[in-house]
């Protein structure tokens, strides 16, 4: 053979199988011991040079479409598996999904911006551009930055990964065009989730280090960017602006809330006026935190594998622990199962992944998955995980509607319990007003003293009416000062009324302040009905027993007046007594001797009190009702313009803003059955018109809203009677009256068609001459003329008595000639 000729190649007698080929290649780098078999070719190897030669081996196998995965143990094994093909999608799908995400982000921002923006917009006047600059661009830019950083880190660590592919949330279209409340808008971000294509679990990872740092790159970028946008939102947060509907609010993670609350007491209010950056930051920090959770296919799940190893991470014990932690946090930290909240879609994704993929040891694909992280990487990753999970933990409601946006303004009272004596007697009531809403609230405060009294009241604003406007979140206080400057008489009870009006909502507070004395009395006498009897009463307050008397009522009045339960006009009161009442032969007498009741002595103190002449009326009406026409008007007190009439309910004078007059069919007779329409304005009667008010036996209230006067009366079944005082008709005719001239004429109009029995009685020590008094009232006019006796006080009173009319005449203390 010529020495220059090449040596012949050795040729195997049989063709190599794929296993033989792979084994031959492997033996060039790593010595093998024996073939183990299995689904994919597996060999026991000598692992002395595996750490150094495995990357070179995989570099060579990669050109053939294979890779080798090392499994360490008592016996090291090397398994060859095919490299995945065609995992990377084309650029077209990325363009579609990113474009669709841009649209849903814009629509989402427009949805929660439509309820209000500052004048001139957040950045520009265009709402569309505002949504783009304030929400869509920050989110998409951050996702693009996170995707770019992830691919660079993975490439540096020897793995080719794809870009983030945002999944748009089409449900925003439902909320945008359905008109549903924002309270149903539980995921208001426009992007549902942000996977990477190809799936990160399906990519071959050289070791745990490359898997760990690539996995945490995206969550870290999202969290850091989110914290930046939270800070920018707080810096750029606006003042109040006009709202047209219920706004939406993003709640910050723990770290932002902790820092902001420590330095800014108005932090929570600032969040309500949500800057668009808040929503961008809320999405980024929420999603970044969720990605850090140890859920299979999540970056946090891959981080768990990188730190624990695939076998331990996928063990049943670990997965049960993860499941219990997830459910416990959802239940006790986030209250996730209390209604349909934002956590429902999160849990609907997380729990199935944990249950069905938590035990799958095939993912993620690790080439050398049994080699643990070094101590430095393990410590750094643990610190990153701790900081992210703790400081980025979201609030119970990451996003929520601001229900207080149109809340009613509130008020509170801080009233002195006792009036104190300094230079003069004084007391005060502090009225605190607060507007918790996000709208301006107009307010009006009026303070007054009830009854006839020597107390005076003054508001701190210096006007009779304090009014103004509360801006959103604003509070103010108004003081109502009470003063009693009369030093010759001790102060009576202070009965006050405070009216607070917010826009069209009215509130009223009535209370009593007692002087800081051992005993005091009310400001006024008043009538108190007890069945058929009417007493005249006065409130008292005692801290120790004391005697009460009336200096101006001499012994001459003792046959006619006495204190209830007593023989005369003196009584020793105990601390348990809170009222004294005058009784007498004639219930009309105290009303007519009220000037003698002005001075009240209680113990060693003397008080000057007034007299409330309001009478608890009981009059009669027939089944036909009151007949009202031009000749017989409705009369006092019903004749004021715009007054209203009610059957009694829980309020003495309800708001009549929406009340109208009873319906009228256009005929001459206007019928109003108050049992059918229990509340209405009293109509004005024109010429040739008749109003018939049908009043069933009941209690009624007449309201004169302009003056705040309410007149309460009861109706019994009986005759329709009108008493005339001069030319003024009086339909509530049962109040006591006084005869001051020598001759009395009582003009009565019987509106019925039959006679009414007329009864009479006399009381007192001076007789009336009633010989000319008839025993019945005929239909129509009845004029009763009587001589008035020469008494100090002459009284008369009409009352209804079982279908008849009783006139009680009183003459007391014969006058000196």
CATH classification of the domain holding 74: 3.90.1070
How many angstroms separate the CA atoms of 55 and 68, rounded?
A: 9
Q: Residue 5: inside a domain, yes or no? A: no
pLDDT over threshold 60, residue 817: no
Residues contacting 639, CB < 8 A, separation 6+? 633
List the domain range (segments joined by +) for residue 64. 20-82
User: Which value, to the nearest 10 degrees, does the dihedral of the CA atoms of residues 538, 539, 544, 546 take?
Assistant: 0
Three-class secondary structure of residue 262 per DSSP: helix
The CATH number covering residue 468 comes to: 2.60.40.2310
Same domain flag for 158 and 99: yes
In angstroms, rounded to a whole number, what is the distance separating the alpha carbons of residues 461 and 438?
25
Burial group, residue 565, by CB count within 10 angstroms (0-12, 13-18, 19+): exposed
Beta-sheet pairing, 721-725 with 728-730: antiparallel
For the stretch 69-96, pLDDT in tens is 888 888 888 888 888 877 888 889 999 9
Q: What is the pLDDT of residues 348-366, one digit of tens each?
A: 899 999 988 888 888 898 8
CA dihedral 365, 370, 371, 373 (to 10 degrees): 70
> Which among 403, 430, 445 is the end of a domain?
403
Name residue, tokens 């439509």: 114
Answer whether 766's CB lies under 8 Å from 811's CB. Answer: yes
Asked if 507 and 525 sit in the same domain, the reply is no
The per-residue pLDDT for 791 is: 87
Cα 96 to Cα 92, 390, 501, distances in angstroms: 6, 36, 57
d(CA 752, CA 655): 35
Chain position carrying tokens 């294979």: 66
In terms of domains, do 349 and 480 share one? Answer: no
| 8 A C-beta contact, residue 495 and residue 519 | no
Phi, psi angle pair for 14, to nearest 5°: -110, 150
**Per-residue model confidence (pLDDT) at position 358:** 86
- DSSP conformational letter for 355: H
If you average pLDDT over residues 36-65, what whole number do you get?
83
- Same domain, yes or no: 99 and 175: yes
Tokens 């007698």, located at residue: 13
Same domain, 155 and 270: yes
Helix ranges (H only) for 294-358 are 299-308, 310-313, 316-328, 343-357
3-class DSSP state of 813: strand
State residue 650's pLDDT score: 45
Q: Which residue has the tokens 């492997």?
A: 26
Buried b (16+ CB within 10 A) or exposed e, 175-203: bbeeeeebeebbbbbbbbebebbbebbeb
Three-state secondary structure call for residue 186: coil
Nearest-angstrom CA–CA distance, 361 and 69: 14
Average pLDDT, the chain: 87
User: Do 371 and 437 reside in the same domain of the chain?
Assistant: no
Q: What pLDDT is stored for residue 12 in this prediction? A: 60
Structure tokens at 69: 């995965």
- DSSP classification of residue 1: -
Is it the case that residue 15 has pLDDT exceeding 80?
no
Asked whether residue 287 falls in the same domain as residue 393, the answer is yes
Phi and psi, residue 634, nearest 5°: -70, -30
Residue 786 CA to residue 769 CA, distance in Å, equals: 7
Domain-embedded: residue 96: yes
Look at residue 215 and tell me whether its pLDDT is greater than 90.
yes
Q: Which of 551, 584, 611 is the last residue of a domain?
A: 611
Strand partners, 506: 501
The residue behind tokens 């430095």 is 376
Compute the average pLDDT of residues 248-272: 82
For residue 1, name the pLDDT band (cuts at 50, 70, 90): very low
Domain count, the chain: 6
Tokens representing 386 are: 């701790």
* Length, in residues, of the chain: 817
Asked whether 635 and 722 are in contact (CB, 8 A), the reply is yes
Residue 405 has pLDDT above 80, yes or no: yes
Mean pLDDT value across residues 770-777: 89
Instruction: Supply φ then ψ for residue 605, to 5 degrees.
Output: -105, 150
809-to-557, 586, 589, 766, 798 alpha-carbon distances in Å: 17, 9, 10, 10, 9
Same domain as 355, residue 236:
yes
pLDDT of 684 over the 90 cut: no
SS (H, E, C) 672-703: EECCCCCEEECCCCCCCCEEEEECCCCEEEEE
Greatest mean pLDDT range, 332-341, 622-631, 646-655: 622-631
Checking if the pLDDT of 332 tops 80, the result is: yes
Residue with tokens 């009870």: 493
How crowded is residue 618: how many other Cβ atoms within 10 Å of its Cβ? 18
Q: Binning pLDDT at 50, 70 and 90, where does residue 486 land?
A: confident
pLDDT in tens, 307-323: 998 889 989 999 999 99
pLDDT in tens, 747-772: 999 988 899 999 999 998 888 888 88
Task: Enumerate residues 6+ apart whose C-beta is below 8 A from 342.
Answer: 186, 187, 397, 398, 399
**What residues does 761 pair with on adjacent strands?**
808
Judge whether 794 lies within some domain. Answer: yes
Please give the average per-residue pLDDT across 536-541, as a whole number. 94
- Retrieve residue 48's tokens: 């002395």
Give Dmax (Cα) for the chain.
Answer: 180
- What is residue 686's predicted lDDT score, i.e. its pLDDT? 80
The CA distance from 236 to 136, in Å, is: 17
Same domain, 510 and 527: no
Q: What average pLDDT does range 427-451 have in this prediction?
A: 92
305: confidence class by pLDDT, cuts 50, 70, 90: very high
Q: How far apart are CA 806 and CA 264, in angstroms?
A: 76
pLDDT tens digits for range 179-208 = 666 566 778 888 988 999 888 888 888 889
Residue 489 domain-assigned?
Answer: yes
Are residues 540 and 792 in contact, defined by beta-carbon separation less than 8 angstroms? no
Cα–Cα distance, 294 to 494 (Å, whole number): 69
Query: Tokens standing for 577?
Result: 């007594």
Distance, C-alpha 579 to centroid of its chain: 42
Which residues lie below 8 Å from residue 39, measured CB to CB, with a gap of 6+?
none
Residue 412 lies in a domain: no
Residue 782 has pLDDT above 80, yes or no: yes
Count of C-beta atoms within a 10 Å radius of residue 266: 10
Task: Decide if 11 is inside a domain.
Answer: no
For a pLDDT cut of 70, what percent of the chain falls above it? 95
Q: What distances in angstroms separate CA 500 from CA 60, 413, 496, 509, one per listed residue? A: 87, 11, 13, 8
- The vertex-95 CA angle with 92 and 97, nearest 5°, equals 110
340: pLDDT confidence band, cut at 50, 70 and 90?
confident
- pLDDT at res. 45: 86
The domain boundary residue, chosen from 352, 371, 403: 403
* In the predicted structure, residue 403 carries a pLDDT above the cut 80: yes
What is the predicted pLDDT for the residue at 13? 57
> Would you say residue 424 has pLDDT above 70?
yes
| Residue 10, domain member (yes or no) | no
Same domain, 138 and 220: yes
Name the token pair of 698: 């009941």
| Continuous H helices in 119-170 | 127-131, 137-156
Query: Looking at residues 499-503, what average pLDDT do you find?
Result: 92
Q: Could you tell me if 456 and 409 are in contact, meaning their C-beta atoms sit under 8 angstroms apart? A: no
Most confident stretch, 187-201, 256-270, 470-484, 625-639: 470-484
Q: How far apart are CA 367 and CA 709, in angstroms?
A: 91
Lowest mean pLDDT among 19-33, 204-218, 409-423: 19-33
Tell which residue, 422, 593, 608, 592, has the closest CA to residue 522.
608
Residue 180's pLDDT is 65
The pair phi, psi for residue 445, each rounded to 5°, is -125, 125
Are residue 766 and residue 641 in the same domain, yes or no? Answer: no
Based on the fold, state whether residues 604 and 633 are members of the same structural domain.
no
The two structure tokens encoding residue 364:
């993620």
- 280 domain-assigned: yes
Is the confidence at residue 653, as pLDDT, over 80? no
């Amino acid at each position: 053979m010529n020495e220059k000729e090449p040596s012949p190649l050795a040729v195997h007698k049989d063709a190599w199988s794929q296993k033989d080929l792979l084994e031959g290649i492997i033996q060039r780098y790593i010595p093998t011991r024996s073939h183990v078999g299995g689904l994919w070719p597996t060999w026991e190897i000598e692992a002395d040079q595996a750490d150094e030669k495995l990357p070179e081996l995989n570099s060579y196998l990669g050109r053939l479409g294979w890779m080798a995965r090392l499994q360490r143990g008592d016996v090291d094994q090397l398994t060859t598996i095919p490299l995945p093909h065609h995992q990377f999608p084309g650029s077209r799908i990325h363009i579609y999904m990113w474009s669709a995400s841009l649209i849903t982000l814009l629509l989402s921002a427009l949805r929660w911006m439509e309820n209000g923006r500052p004048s001139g917009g957040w950045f520009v006047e265009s709402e569309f551009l505002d949504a783009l600059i304030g929400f869509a661009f920050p989110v998409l830019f951050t996702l693009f930055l996170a995707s770019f950083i992830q691919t660079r880190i993975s490439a540096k660590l020897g793995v080719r990964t794809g870009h983030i592919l945002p999944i748009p949330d089409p449900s925003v279209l439902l909320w945008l065009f359905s008109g549903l409340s924002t309270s149903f808008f539980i995921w208001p971000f426009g992007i549902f989730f942000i996977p990477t294509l190809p799936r990160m679990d399906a990519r071959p990872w050289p070791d745990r280090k490359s898997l760990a740092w690539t996995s945490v790159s995206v969550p870290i970028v999202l969290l850091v960017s989110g914290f930046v946008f939270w800070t920018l939102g707080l810096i750029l947060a606006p003042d109040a602006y006009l709202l047209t509907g219920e706004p939406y609010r993003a709640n910050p993670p723990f770290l932002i809330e902790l820092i902001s609350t420590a330095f800014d007491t108005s932090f929570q209010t600032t969040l309500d006026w949500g800057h668009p950056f808040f929503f961008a930051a809320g999405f980024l920090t929420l999603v970044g935190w969720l990605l850090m959770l140890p859920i299979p296919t999540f970056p946090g799940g891959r981080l768990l594998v990188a730190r624990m190893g695939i076998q331990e991470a996928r063990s049943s014990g670990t997965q049960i622990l993860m499941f219990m932690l997830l459910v416990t946090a959802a239940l006790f930290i986030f209250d996730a199962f209390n209604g349909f909240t934002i956590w429902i879609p999160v849990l609907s994704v997380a729990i199935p992944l944990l249950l069905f993929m938590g035990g799958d040891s095939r993912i993620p694909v690790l080439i050398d998955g049994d080699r643990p992280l070094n101590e430095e990487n393990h410590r750094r990753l643990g610190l990153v995980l701790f900081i992210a999970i703790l400081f980025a933990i979201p609030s119970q409601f990451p996003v929520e509607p601001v229900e207080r946006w149109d809340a009613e303004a509130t008020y509170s009272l801080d009233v002195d319990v006792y009036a104190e004596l300094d230079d003069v007697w004084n007391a005060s009531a502090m009225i605190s007003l607060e507007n918790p809403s996000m709208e301006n609230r107009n307010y009006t405060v009026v303070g007054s003293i009830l009854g006839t009294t020597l107390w005076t009241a003054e508001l701190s604003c210096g006007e009779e009416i304090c009014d103004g406007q509360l801006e959103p979140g604003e509070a103010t206080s108004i003081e109502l000062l009470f003063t009693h400057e009369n030093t010759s008489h001790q102060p009576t009870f202070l009965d006050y009324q405070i009216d607070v009006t917010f826009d069209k909502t009215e509130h009223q507070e009535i209370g009593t302040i007692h002087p800081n004395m051992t005993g005091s009395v009310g400001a006024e006498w008043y009538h108190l009905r007890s069945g058929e009897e009417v007493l005249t009463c006065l409130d008292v307050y005692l801290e120790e027993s004391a005697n009460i008397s009336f200096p101006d009522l001499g012994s001459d009045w003792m046959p006619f007046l006495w204190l209830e339960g007593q023989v005369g006009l003196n009584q020793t009161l105990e601390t348990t007594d809170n009222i004294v009442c005058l009784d007498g032969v004639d219930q009309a007498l105290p009303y007519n001797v009220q000037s003698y009741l002005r001075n009240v002595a209680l113990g060693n103190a003397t008080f000057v009190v007034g007299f409330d002449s309001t009478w608890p009326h009981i009059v009669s009406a027939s089944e036909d009702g009151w007949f009202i026409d031009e000749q017989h008007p409705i009369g006092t007190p019903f004749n004021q313009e715009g007054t209203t009439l009610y059957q009694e309910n829980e309020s003495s004078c309800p708001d009549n803003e929406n009340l109208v007059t009873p319906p009228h069919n256009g005929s001459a007779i206007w019928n109003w059955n108050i049992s059918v329409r229990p509340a209405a304005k009293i109509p004005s009667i024109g010429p040739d018109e008749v109003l018939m008010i049908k009043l069933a036996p009941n209690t009624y209230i007449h309201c004169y809203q302009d003056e705040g006067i309410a007149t309460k009366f009861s109706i019994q079944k009986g005759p329709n009677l009108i008493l005339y005082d001069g030319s003024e008709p009086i339909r509530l005719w049962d109040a006591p009256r006084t005869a001051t001239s020598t001759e009395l004429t009582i003009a009565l109009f019987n509106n019925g068609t039959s006679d009414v029995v007329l009864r009479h009685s006399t009381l007192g020590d001076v007789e009336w001459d009633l010989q000319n008094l008839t025993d019945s009232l005929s239909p129509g006019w009845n004029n009763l003329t009587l001589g008035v006796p020469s008494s100090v006080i002459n009284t008369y009173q009409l009352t209804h008595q079982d279908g008849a009319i009783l006139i009680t005449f009183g003459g007391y203390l014969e006058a000196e000639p």
